[in-house]
Amino acid sequence: MSKLFLIIAINFIIGALGICFIVTKNPGVRTHLLTKYMVYLLIVVFIFSVLQFFPKAFPFIALIIAGLGAIEILKLCNAFSFKCLMFFLSYMILAILFLFFSMASVYQVSMVFTIIIILDGYSQITGQLFGKYKMTPVISPQKTWEGLIGGVLLTFIASFFLDLTNHKIIIVSYIIFFGIIGDLSDSLIKRKAGIKDFGTILPGHGGILDRFDSFILSGAMYYLLIKLHYV
């Protein structure tokens, strides 16, 4: 656990340096990026503190995250009708699996969360610093191939400090893959619904699903891997 927290701390420092470079290139985004960075830092410190000192309370935190996410989806149903309802039902299945995942070992939950944090952070930083080629302009105009490649590569590099075996490298690959799918899936839903964010509860981020979509899907899929005795 302490090693995971150290990895997170180091990567947040690197992220702060990346933000400094981004602000130098585009001073207009300074307030938004700083707000996003500080809120994300508070979220990460809070969740890691719960996992470290009150691990039995984390399933309740997971329940709140999943529940608020469900409320955000339900708010779209009037505008998004049948398709939104189907998405809601799919989400509820994932949410239930995510809740089971929240009761896994502290290390397993922390590892998945760590990988998702690093992937998300580096994807955004490398995308804003070097992004030129749009990855999915119809689904998510802000995402670039440079951001995806940079995020994945740097996440793998950071993951090596977890003393990964070949088997665990495959697990990390799964987490990264589902993290990306979770992000793109919610971007597609938002595009179809004609909204920018699922909510406004988290300054600089939007709603709960805007921040935790990748964690929910990756956690749910990781739980399935546990049940299949793959991890």
- What string of pLDDT tens digits covers the 231 residues of the chain? 567 777 778 878 887 888 888 778 777 777 878 888 899 989 998 999 999 899 999 999 999 999 999 999 888 776 556 777 788 889 999 999 999 999 999 989 998 999 999 999 899 888 888 878 888 777 787 888 998 999 999 898 888 777 655 567 888 899 999 999 998 888 888 887 778 888 889 998 889 999 999 999 999 999 998 888 776
Q: What is the rounded distance in angstroms from the CA atom of residue 12 to the CA atom of residue 95?
A: 28
Report which of 197, 215, 189 is spatially closest to residue 87, judged by C-alpha positions. Answer: 189
**Residue labelled with tokens 């920018």:** 196
CA 68/CA 27 separation, integer angstroms: 33
Distances (CA, A) of 67 to 51, 72, 76: 19, 9, 15
pLDDT score for 1:
57
pLDDT at 54: 93
Strands (E), the chain: 134-136, 140-144
Residue 169 pLDDT: 82
User: Which pTM does this prediction carry?
Assistant: 0.91
Q: What is the pLDDT of residue 142?
A: 81
Q: What is the model's pLDDT at position 167?
A: 63
